[in-house]
Amino acid sequence: MKNHFKNTFKKKWKKIRFNLSASNHPIFTFYYKNLYSPKKGTLAEFISNYSKSKAGEFFVIQIGANDGITNDPIHKFIKRDHWKGVLLEPQQNVFKDELSKIYRLDKGIHPICAAIGSEDGSQKLHKIAFCDSRWATGLASFSLDKLKLAFENGVVEKNCSKEGIQIPENLEDRISYNEVPVISPKSLIKRFKIAKIDLLQIDAEGYDLEVIKIFDIAKTKPQVIIFENENLNPADLENCYHSLKSENYQLKEFGRDTLAVKKELTQFEHFFH
């Protein structure tokens, strides 16, 4: 009974917060402009300070934007500081019902329903077949093994238990897939006439390192990259770190997220000590 009321409250609060943000309500904007203060030494503090240092000029590319707000580390800063950028989300229902709506009034932000890939085309996106809650859509991945792991390590079971959902016995009833549109970085940059990338934000459910490779960091030169380091092959992650360091990035892990910052951004040196 307690969990039921807790989940009901969370859903209602999520809807209220979503609507406040989508309408750019004065209450929402006032809070983040005047009252919000990120904790010292956190990733949020870095993003906040970095955003303020580029007032009105900040450009982001976000890979795996999902609904645009839930567990999204950059949403409040996009709204607060009027970022410009392109946000990619390949799940059609999530894009249509949530991401496109929450940024409909933000003229500098362009949500598109697509995934990133080395070439334009389409690709299989594996997803939870029996649930469309935010936690479930957040697990959608190009890697079938990564999604299977979410069942094996108890992530799916934990979330289903909270919502009173029975997990199907058969694998085909647990995991399905959709063919989703894919756009290459080259096409993305050309289509939106992107001259610079202040932040490449990645949440690709086990595909993060592939996204970094696909983006050809040596050419596209994002000033800052944030990506998930959780549940990745240690050797692959170490190779990625080595590659980023060779491109003059400083690295720091904030729990499940890794921050990579170009060394020429010397005003943020203290975050790495």
Flag whether 116 is in a domain. Answer: yes
Flag whether 153 is in a domain. Answer: yes
Same domain, 148 and 252: no
The pLDDT of residue 1 = 56
The pLDDT of residue 100 = 97
Same domain, 45 and 174: no
The pLDDT of residue 171 = 83
Same domain, 201 and 139: no
Does residue 207 surpass a pLDDT of 90? no
Mean of the pLDDT values across residues 8-36?
93
- Taking only the tens place, the pLDDT of each residue in 155-178 is 999 999 988 899 998 888 999 999
Does residue 184 surpass a pLDDT of 70? yes
Same domain, 240 and 143: no
Flag whether 74 is in a domain. Answer: yes
Beta-carbon contacts of 247 under 8 Å, excluding residues fewer than 6 positions away, are 217, 218
Mean of the pLDDT values across residues 192-206?
94
When divided into structural domains, the chain yields a total of 2
Flag whether 252 is in a domain. Answer: yes
Does residue 69 surpass a pLDDT of 60? yes
- Give the Å distances, CA to CA, from 147 to 46, 71, 155: 31, 19, 10
Mean of the pLDDT values across residues 191-218?
94
Does residue 4 surpass a pLDDT of 90? no
Flag whether 8 is in a domain. Answer: no
Same domain, 94 and 227: yes
Domain boundary among 178, 195, 212: 178
Same domain, 155 and 193: no
- Asked if 204 contacts 193 with a C-beta cutoff of 8 angstroms, the reply is no
Q: How many CB atoms lie within 10 A of CB 177?
A: 16
The pLDDT of residue 5 = 66
Same domain, 43 and 109: yes
Question: What band does 2 get if pLDDT is binned at 50, 70 and 90?
Answer: low
Closest CA to 228 of 204, 257, 207: 257
Does residue 78 surpass a pLDDT of 90? yes
Same domain, 129 and 118: no
Domain boundary among 147, 178, 209: 178
The domain of 164 spans: 124-178
Domain boundary among 178, 194, 215: 178
CATH number of the domain within which 194 lies: 3.40.50.150
- Tokens matching residue 5: 């009321």
The pLDDT of residue 199 = 98
The pLDDT of residue 8 = 76
What distance in Å separates the CA atoms of residue 82 and residue 107, rounded to the nearest whole number?
Answer: 9
Same domain, 129 and 241: no
Same domain, 131 and 111: no
Flag whether 26 is in a domain. Answer: no
What b/e string do you get for 54-67 counting C-beta neighbours within 10 Å, with b at 16 or more? Answer: eeeebbbbbbbbbb
The pLDDT of residue 44 = 97
Same domain, 130 and 212: no
Flag whether 82 is in a domain. Answer: yes
Flag whether 5 is in a domain. Answer: no
- Taking only the tens place, the pLDDT of each residue in 208-259 is 999 999 999 999 999 999 999 987 889 999 999 999 999 999 999 999 999 9
Same domain, 189 and 117: yes
Does residue 3 surpass a pLDDT of 70? no
Q: What is the mean pLDDT of the chain?
A: 94
The pLDDT of residue 61 = 98
Q: Which is it for the CA torsion 128, 63, 144, 230, positive or negative?
A: negative
Mean of the pLDDT values across residues 113-122?
96
